[in-house]
Structure 1
Amino acid sequence: MGELAADKHVKYIVSVGKKKGSFESVVIEHMRVNGAYWGLTTLDLLGMLHVVDVDEIVSWLISCRHESGGFGGNVGHDPHIMYTLSVVQVLALFDKLDVLDIEKVSDYVAGLQNEDGSFSGDEWGEVDTRFSYIAICCLSLLHRLNKINVEKAVKYIVSCKNLDGGFGSTPGGESHAGQIFCCVGALAITGSLHHIDKDLLGWWLCERQVKSGGLNGRPEKLPDVCYSWWVLSSLIMIDRVHWINKEKLVQYILACQDVENGGISDRPDDAVDVYHTFFGVAGLSHLEYPGVKAIDPAYALPVDVVNRIFFGR
């Protein structure tokens, strides 16, 4: 089995941030804030966050702010709850949450809660359990969960639970590993995991492991490195992570590396990107791979960052 090419991955992430005209840079132009979160959190997990210019990044993030209190995916782009969380997470990495107008940001997020407890992603009203997780995670990191109706938010998430133990994007929606992470994460943060049938959901999640050792997002689909995060995090939160073959999953993630130029792809020999690089390294963190810092399965931030926010240490 190969080893994690950590140095190459660090160089790759730094290079993506500098290549403004590259194909990958243009493709994520509308969601550069998300890309910053994926790349910078990977650097922190590898103990290399110090290689970036913190002031430059913070200044750019603040330039993505809107009067509403929300943040866009890049300068001049419309605000959305998804980008707002990424900004909060990056500032948390840098211990710079104090640069935010926390009341304004949290009012923006709280204002997206609907009467039934669900959340919209932005002013246009799309509803998805992803947004429920994002709102709860964001407000929790800002110590402002009291701004929403948590009981209604939990009730809505529970209404999206299916007979197979999983969760969909809306009531009746198909169970999917990404949505399951969002729902389990939101329930974990709000202390509501008792609503989950842990054995039933654990069985559905461990069935996502295929012969190659990789994980897929739903039955009959190909494996993808990103599910090393979505599935593993959910299994950890419901205490069923021992139901999968960890060694085979480590081998699968390492096989998806570009050991020459850095970066991790969805499947072996595919093109790498920052998204899969983060989720691959985050998956290895959950698998306790040597040299990778521990990451919190609910907040998707290094454990030491979460401890600093909630316990001041």
Structure 2
Amino acid sequence: MSLAAGPGRGRVAGGQTPADLRLVIDKHVAYVQKLDTRRDELEYHLTEHLRVSGVYWGLVALHLMKHHDALPSQGVLDFALSCLRDNGGFGAAPGHDAHMLYTISAVQILAMTDNFAELEKRVPDGKKKIAGFIAGLQQPNGTFAGDEWGETDTRFLYGAFNSLSLLGYMPHQRPSETPMIDLPAAIAHIRACQNFDGGFGTSPGAESHSGQVFVCTAALTIAGEIDTFLGEDGKDRLGAWLSERQQASGGLNGRPEKLVDVCYSWWVMSSMAMIDRLHWIDSAKLTKFILECQDPDEGGISDRPGDMVDVFHLCFGIAGLSLLGHPDLIEVDPAYCMPRHITSKLVGR
């Protein structure tokens, strides 16, 4: 079984009465396990460009729900390594070009399945080769491109910090070696992407967006620069903008005047956790909103109540509930969207 999971869209969410609202873990586990059995559906093949990320999303949800062994580990490993390209990067699926986004997902899969040693067995100096691909995408202004074609975005800078730290190749992890990346230039680029409202955009001058706030605050956290960079006043300013993302339904949006979406339960809340302002959100209302987005019969979580479920929103809905301290879940690391006990082992967080 390759577990080449697609986005896994399914039935519409909803159907629980307020009194019955609970996290249906058994249904969600079964939902993830079924993702690779839907190869006769057109959508499975149309979403091949999301395949390795789909595996990552499913694994995160399973780990946080205390079912890390629900997928066959050998199948997960074989699929992830089948996406490794000669240049050290990973593609979305076998045969696809390498890209930073899929390299992040693949490295996180290897980390969550404890397979870095196996990587080294199958690919000599595999970790260093992957790190070299990532470092080679840094641009003169400090940011990172997604691939050889040169598109830049703060998502890719975060991806570089995330993956390099898990691989053990951030500058502070190898103080006696010549750094692979120019860390000061990368931090300076993040500063240039911050706006007057405290948020961050995809590039200097771009509109603040919750997703970009996450990648920038997480990059700063991984680099150990979050407190120095923001200070208490900066955290207050950013926390105020983030807290305003909560709407009357309890859900969160990505920027002003946009619809709420379960995935922002992660992008917004993780950022607030990293700046110690998580208590500025009404956690009871947000918990209710996330639970209302479940399919209580078949599993999965949607963006909003009544919409189709998928594994992307399942991942970030479960991660959001973990940040809220849901009793049925283990602790998530807000900078990595991975179980805290795994990141603690690899990077000492």
Which category of TM-score, normalised to the shorter sequence, fits these structures? over 0.9
Q: Which shows bigger deviation, 228-237 or 138-147?
A: 138-147
Deviations 1:81-101 (A, max 9, x none): 110110110111111112330
Deviations 1:206-252 (A, max 9, x none): 00000000000000111000000000000000011111100000000
Q: Which shows bigger deviation, 219-228 or 190-199?
A: 190-199
8 Å CA contact 1:12–1:263 kept in 2: the answer is: yes
1:148 partner SS: coil
Q: Which residue of 2 aligns with 1:269?
A: 306
The one-letter code sitting in structure 2 at the alignment partner of 1:195 is F
Counterparts of 2:44 and 2:340, CA distance in 1:
29
Q: Which residue of 2 aligns with 1:139?
A: 164
Query: How far apart are 1:23 and its partner, in Å?
Result: 4.5
Residues 1-313 of structure 1 correspond to what in structure 2 (within 5 A)?
Answer: 1=18, 2-100=21-119, 101-146=126-171, 147-193=180-226, 194-196=228-230, 197-311=234-348
1:51 partner SS: coil
The one-letter code sitting in structure 1 at the alignment partner of 2:155 is R
Counterparts of 1:263 and 1:15, CA distance in 2:
11
Sequence identity (%): 49
Query: How far apart are 1:290 and its partner, in Å?
Result: 1.2
8 Å CA contact 2:165–2:347 kept in 1: the answer is: no
Counterparts of 2:41 and 2:28, CA distance in 1:
17
Dislocated runs of 4+, deviation >3 Å = none
Distance 1:256 1:288, change over 3 A: same
Counterparts of 2:43 and 2:343, CA distance in 1:
30
The one-letter code sitting in structure 2 at the alignment partner of 1:148 is I
Counterparts of 2:30 and 2:287, CA distance in 1:
22
Q: Which shows bigger deviation, 119-128 or 96-105?
A: 96-105
The one-letter code sitting in structure 1 at the alignment partner of 2:102 is Y
Distance 1:155 1:201, change over 3 A: same
Query: How far apart are 1:191 and its partner, in Å?
Result: 1.3
Distance 1:74 1:249, change over 3 A: same
1:215 partner SS: coil
8 Å CA contact 1:28–1:35 kept in 2: the answer is: no
The structure whose RCO (Cα within 8 Å, separation 6+) is larger is 2
Q: How many residues align?
A: 312
Counterparts of 2:340 and 2:46, CA distance in 1:
31
Query: How far apart are 1:61 and its partner, in Å?
Result: 1.0
Gaps of 5+ in 2: 1-17, 120-125, 172-179
Gaps of 5+ in 1: none
Counterparts of 2:111 and 2:51, CA distance in 1:
17
8 Å CA contact 2:251–2:286 kept in 1: the answer is: yes
Query: How far apart are 1:22 and its partner, in Å?
Result: 2.5
8 Å CA contact 1:64–1:73 kept in 2: the answer is: yes
8 Å CA contact 1:24–1:273 kept in 2: the answer is: no
1:91 partner SS: helix
TM-score by length of 1: 0.98
Q: Which residue of 1 aligns with 2:123?
A: none
Counterparts of 1:34 and 1:189, CA distance in 2:
21
Deviations 1:7-52 (A, max 9, x none): 0011111111221233542342112000000001111111112121
The one-letter code sitting in structure 1 at the alignment partner of 2:199 is G
